[in-house]
Structure formats: C-alpha cells, structure tokens
A and B are shown apart, each in its own frame.
Chain A
Amino acid sequence: MIDLTRYLGPKLGSVANRLLDDRHSEHLGIRMDTPFTRILVALILAAAAVAAYRLLLGMGASTNLNDYWPWGLWISFDVLGGVAMAAGGFIVAAMVYILNWKKYKCIVRASILNAFFGYLLAAMSICLDIGRSFVIWHPMVMWQVNSIMFIVAVHVVLYTSTLATESSPMVFEKLGWTGVLRWVNRCMVGIVLFGVLLSLLHQSSLGAVYLIAPSKLSPLWYSKFIPYMFLVSAIMMGLSMVSFETILTGKVFNHVPSLDVLQGLARGVLVIGSFYAAMKIGHLLTGPGVGALVSEGFLGIMWLLEMAIGVLLPLLLLAGKKNRSNPEVLFAANILVIVGVLMNRLNVGVFAVSEYANRAGSDYFPSLMELVLTTGMIAFAILGFKVCAKYLNLFPETDH
C-alpha cells in the first residue's frame, strides 16, 4: 500500500492511510479494478455530463417532460423507488436497537448503508429534477406546513443526516476516534428511534403527495389510503432488499450469510406482503371495481403486472416453509418483490396520469438523457456500496 503521509503530511496522511487500510476485508476478496467497476465509472461519468447539461440548459432541453406530464422517470424511479428501496434501513435498525433482536445485528450495517445510498440517490435526483436546483434549501427556511412536498423535503434532509450518523461508527472505528465512537453508540437508540419516526412519515408522505390529485390519477391507484399503501409496500420491499443484498453480497464477496436471518426476513416479507395484498385488493374491490382492470385497458394490465410480479408470485414462493430455507428461492422472491414495488412506483408516478395527459393531447417517454442519468445514479449506488464494503467493516462477523 502507498504511504500517504508522504504526500499529505503526517496528520492528514495517517488519517487517509487508516481509511484506506483494507486488511480487515481481505477475506471478502473485493477487487476494485474489474471490467464491471469500469462500466460503473463510465455510467457515472455519463450521468455527470447529463447533470451538467441539465443545469446549464434547463429541463426542456434534457427531458421529455411537459405541462401535462410534469413528473417523469426521475421522480417515479429515482425518488419514489430509491426511497422505497431504502426502507430496509429503518426496519432492520428498529429490529436490532429497539426490539433487541440481536441475531440481525450482522446485517444492520449493510442495511443502513444501503438505505443511505437509496436516499442519496433520491436526494441527488430531486435536486436535478427541480428547475432551480441551487435553491433546493428554500423549503427549510420558508415553512409551508400544508404542503406534503415540504414535509417530504424536511424528511429527506433529516433522515439522510440520520442515516449518515447511524453509519458513522464504521468510519470512526477505522479512524480510531474512540471518544466520538462511544458518544454516537451511546445515542444510537435515540437516533434509531428518530430514524424510525422519520421513515414512517417519509415513506407514507411520498404516497400522500398524490392525495391532492384525485381527478388526474387513475382510480386504479388513487385512494385516500395511498400513503399507507406506500408505507406498507416500502416495508415489504425494504425487507426484500436487505435479504436480496445479503444473499448477493454473500455470492459476490466471499462471505456466508446466515440462513436463520434470511428466513426471518422472508417471514417478514410474507406477513407484510399478505397485508399489502389485502390492502390493494380491498381497494380495487371497494374503489374502482374489478371491471376497471378491463375498462382502463393498458393501465389495467400494468396494475395486474405490478400485483402479480411484486405481490402474488413472491407470496406463493415464500408460503412454503421448505422454500423459505432455500436461498435460491428467497433470492428469486426478493427480486420479484423489488421489481414489483418499483413497478408500482412507476405506475403511480408515470402511468397513472397517462389517461389524463393523453386526453389533453400530451405524451411522455423518458428522453435518452433522463435514462442515462437514472442509470448513472444506480451505478453510483452500486459502486459506492462496493467501495464501502472494501474499506469499512460492513459485515462484522462477531456480535459486538
């Protein structure tokens, strides 16, 4: 390893040296210079170019959005999807720190870090999606408590900082700053509690954003319970995401995930997923009616797809006890849930307004630049996670 004290001076150099020390993760066998990493870096650079173009020339030049379709891929996928993916962070943190279910302690760091990247992704995307990116902080100083968007904005800021604080012990540990480390650890229960509160409100308020548009959203998705549907589906997806990532990191880095933990998460997905299925089907029956699936045409198909992929199929897979002890089945079920809930967010954010917008003669398909930026964001999250896995003690093998 290069000794950075030579370049950065003794003080800064030793800090950098300690941060870049990866001896503790050598057993994971993470290599940085791989073709996959190079692709990720290329995607991130392309997205950065798009971001610069968007900032210089405006929304019209970079996106296909218009007055009848003001929110598109960035809001639905990056923001709604990114935040939903992050739900695992608060659930696992609550299980470990509030409920004292210690067996999940081995995945808590990875879950929180995963959530942190989900929120970073959402925050960066919304920053580029709003037309006046440099005054994104305005809601913080110009309170408007009637606005769900204000509530969303406050939560993004507070929860991203909370997640950073929850992840900080990993960094302090490496730097050997025991004083700060002890202080943060002592406050951890309070911080986690605050995070749970923020997450409950934030996940549901993203659904509540759409409460104001009953005449624009398709009845297949508009419901006065949409905040709670968002919350429940986010919890389901969060659990799946954590399980998915535990299995995946087990596959790509040399470490073996505990089957006990995976089974526990799968039971969680099963319970929450059943509740979500009941909510969705209940809403269909009491609201638009089953006939709407046919009368709404394309949107009906989208609703059915979302439900089949994200809810019914995984529930069927997870229902059998034998299936739940097979990591391969769990892996498949997790992917289905993640894809399904992402589809739900795309449906609400993009497709649900299509009928209204089409009637006004407008249409939308993401522009190349919108797609490139979203891809780059995902690449950023993957690469970021990989770097953290290499340089931070992400998978503590023993119970501290």
Chain B
Amino acid sequence: MTISRRDFLKGVAGSGVVMAAAVPDVDAKMSKELPPKAVGILYDATLCIGCKSCMVNCKIHNSVPGGALHKEGMVSGVCDALLCRSPEGEEKATDPPYETGGIKGNEGIWDASQDLTGKTLSIIKVYRNGTGEQKDSPVNGHAFFKQQCLHCITPACASVCPAGAFKKDPVNGAVYYEAYRCIGCRYCQIACPFNVPRYEWDSAWPEVRKCQLCRHRFAEGKYSACAEFCPTGATIFGRVEDLRQEAKKRFSMKPGTEYEYPIKTLDSRETSLRKVSRYADRVYGLSEAGGTQNIMLSGVSFELLGFDRDIPHSALPDLTWAYVAKIPWVFAGVFLGGTTIHAITSRMAKHGKDKEEKHD
C-alpha cells in the first residue's frame, strides 16, 4: 500500500504542475491600449443648458432591440440564460422605462430620473452655490454636469465579472453588457470607481444597466443618441484621439475669445460660434482609472461636482492581476511542498514506530 500511495502522490504532484502550466496568463491580461478605432463622447459642461434632450433620447433609442435598456421577456430571458445563448430573432421595441422620481402626481407620465438607476443610463444634474446666478462659477453660480459610463480603456467591470457579462469591443472600445451571461453578483458595482453600473433591484430576474455608447446604432451608421440630440454641442461624438486633442485645445484657449464649437459630432459642419468660458481643473478622463473613452470639461472643478477625488490614475485591473498571476505558483508550490513534507513526516513516523518496536 505504501508504494501505491507514493505513486499516487507522484501523480498528484505531477498533475499539479501540469495544471499550473496550463493556466493561461499572458493572453488573459487586459489591454491598456486604446482600441484601433476607439470612439467616445466629449461632454463640455460649459455648453450645457440643462435641457435634458440627451436623457430623453437616451431612453427612447435604447429601448429598441439591442439597446441597453431593452429587456426581453422574463421567460425568454431566463431560457437564454439557462441555455447560455444570446437572444436572437425579431423583437419589438419596448416602452422607455420612466421613473416617477417619488414626485406626487407623476404616474409614469413623464420621466423624472433623480440618479443613474437600472432604468436611467445617463443623467444631467445641477450644481448650485449661493445665489446661483453666474453660470459655471463655483461661488454664487450654477453648473450642469453629466453622469454616464465613461468607457474605461481597461474597464474594471469587465475584469471582475465572473461570467464575462461585461466586454470591451475590441474595435470601437465600447464597454457593453450581455445579460444572458450575468449571474447578478454585483461585483461590477463594487469594482467600478465611477459607480456607474446600476442594478434592477425591483426585478426577480435583474439585469445590470449602464450606457453602452449606443453600440447597437453603429451598425446603422448612427452614433450615440445623446450626442445626436444635443442642440448646443455640449455632448459630441467622435474618435477618442481627436476628442482628446479637441479637449486639450479648448482647455488651453483664452477665456473670452470666440470659437466655433462643433455640434453633434466632432467633424460636423454644423457649428455654433460662442465665447470660450473659463475651464476649471483638468480634462477629466485622460488618466482617471487608467484613462476613459468619454472625456469631460467643466467650468467648476470635478471634485465640487461630486466626482470622487480618490480614483486612482492607473488601470484598476492591474491591482487584482498581481494576485491572479501568483496562483499557478501556489498550485505548483503546494503540491510539491506538500508531497515532500508528507513523504518526510511519514518516513519519520515509520522510523519512530520501528524503533519503538525494537525496544519492545
């Protein structure tokens, strides 16, 4: 029996090393490069007039099949999840999910979103201080700001999802969600430094909701609805590299000079001639969490607008990768070390017994 056990242990130790070697490491690590045709949104808060046209159209254009707010029926949703298949076939657009916002008399007639939720992918909020007269002034002023998914270059949500429900498009870089994979564990909510993913708390078969950059509209040659329906050019769509150039240019322009602000898209022929406001702080999204594809400019500093100042300026998945990369070594170490220790202690125990027997 001793021999068979030893052979068995050899086998165990050997298979441990093989398993450790078979774990994919280099390929699995997430990219920190901008995808080749990365697109995104530049939100310039100094141009925003708070009309919320972006929010309204976000809901309408995401309630169609493929949109981030579209939900297939409960039965087919459960079936797709159980069969691990993405939903197929013709489906009808659903009603945009309105929120009452706890306002009396609002029985779902108009949308009164108060925050990002499982029903709201983007939101315009207002900053107010003192008299609130001066736009884009931190003191006695007011300012609008927008919250939505920023489409990280190295998204934490995609790195933490145990079932790979969050993915980053390898070409345009949009971070999207596949409901049929989701198990509803909410680790994405813990991981996202911007606290963007929101949960359908009221559903028995919940999905996680966040902006997907209107990825479903790209195929039709369209782009993000919030940019298409922004009348002032506060939200514009374009290639990330160009948007970054544009944002840096605006940031360094002299306040009071005139500038032709493009509307809807960065390369649009429609422009609006306006005086440049004073930009505060920095271009948001160049380095936050390792850089994001959506970037923002504001007249009031982002800390005052409530954006978290503790967000690291490096890719978050690196923090866990340092741990994950050690696992194969633990495998090999424990199997080899454990087998060795067992062999030694067994021999010692046997030795001790033999001696005892001799003494007897």
Given A60-B202, A196-B338, A214-B319, A135 contacting B162 (CB threshold 8 A): no
Q: Contact at A58–B204, with CB atoms within 8 Å?
A: yes
Knowing A142-B163, A209-B187, say if A215 contacts B311 (CB, 8 Å).
Answer: yes
Contacts of A28 in B (CB 8 A): none
Residues of A within 8 A of B320 (CB): 146, 148, 208, 211-212
Taking CB atoms and an 8 Å cut-off, the chain B residues in 45-87 that contact chain A are 78, 81-82, 84
Residue B335 interfacial (CB < 8 Å): yes
Q: Would you call B163 and A139 a contact (CB within 8 A)?
A: yes
Q: Mark A56-80, 1 if CB is under 8 A from B, else 0.
A: 1111110001111011000000000
Binds B, one of A93-101, A279-287, A288-296, A376-384: A93-101
Task: Please give the distance in Å from B312's CB to the nearest CB on chain A.
Answer: 6
B301 at the interface (CB under 8 A from A): no
- Bound Cα distance A115, B28 (Å): 33
Whether B201 and A59, one on each chain, are in contact in the complex, defined by CB atoms closer than 8 angstroms, is yes
Q: Once the chains are docked, how many angstroms separate the CA of A61 from the CA of B84?
A: 27
Interface contacts (Cβ under 8 Å), in number, total 207
User: What is the bound-complex CA distance between A148 and B334, given in angstroms?
Assistant: 20
Query: Do the beta carbons of A147 and B161 come within 8 Å of each other?
Result: yes
Kindly state the separation between the CA atoms of A211 and B162 in the bound complex, as whole angstroms.
15
The total of chain A residues at the interface (CB under 8 A) is 69
The answer to whether B162 touches A153, judged by C-beta atoms less than 8 angstroms apart, is yes
Given A145-B24, A151-B327, A212-B163 contact (CB < 8 Å): no
Contact A214 to B312, CB < 8 A, known contacts A187-B8, A197-B335? yes
A97-B342, A139-B162, A144-B164 known; A61 and B202 CB under 8 Å? yes
* Residue A24 is within 8 A (CB to CB) of chain B in the complex: no
Q: Is A150 an interface residue (CB 8 A)?
A: yes
A71 and B190 form a contact (CB under 8 A): yes
Contact A70–B342 (Cβ < 8 Å): no
CB of B347, distance to nearest CB on chain A (Å)? 9
Given A55-B204, A215-B312 in contact, is the A200-B330 Cβ separation under 8 Å?
Answer: yes
A190 in contact (CB, < 8 A)? yes
Q: Which of A105-113, A126-134, A392-400 contacts B (4 or more CB under 8 A)?
A: A126-134
A197 in contact with B334 (CB, 8 Å): yes
Whole-angstrom CA separation of A146 from B164 in the bound complex: 9
Q: A224 and B184: CB pair below 8 A?
A: no
- CB atoms of A70 and B202 under 8 A apart: no
Option from A60, A129, A186, A215 in Cβ contact (under 8 Å) with B8 = A186
Instruction: Please report which residues of chain B, range 310-359, place their CB below 8 angstroms from some CB of chain A when the two chains form the complex.
Output: 310-312, 316-317, 319-324, 327, 330-331, 334-335, 338-339, 341-342, 345-346, 348-349
Could you list 29 A-B pairs, sorted by A, with CB under 8 Å? A55-B204, A58-B203, A58-B205, A59-B206, A61-B202, A70-B186, A71-B190, A94-B338, A98-B342, A99-B345, A100-B346, A126-B185, A129-B185, A131-B185, A138-B81, A138-B84, A138-B162, A139-B163, A143-B164, A148-B323, A186-B1, A186-B5, A189-B5, A189-B8, A197-B331, A200-B334, A210-B190, A212-B156, A215-B312
Contacts A66-B201, A214-B316 supplied; 15 other A-B pairs, CB < 8 Å: A57-B204, A61-B202, A67-B116, A70-B199, A71-B186, A134-B81, A139-B163, A147-B161, A149-B160, A186-B5, A187-B8, A190-B8, A193-B338, A212-B160, A356-B308
Ordered nearest first, which 4 A-B pairs have the shortest CB separation? A131-B184, A60-B201, A149-B162, A70-B186
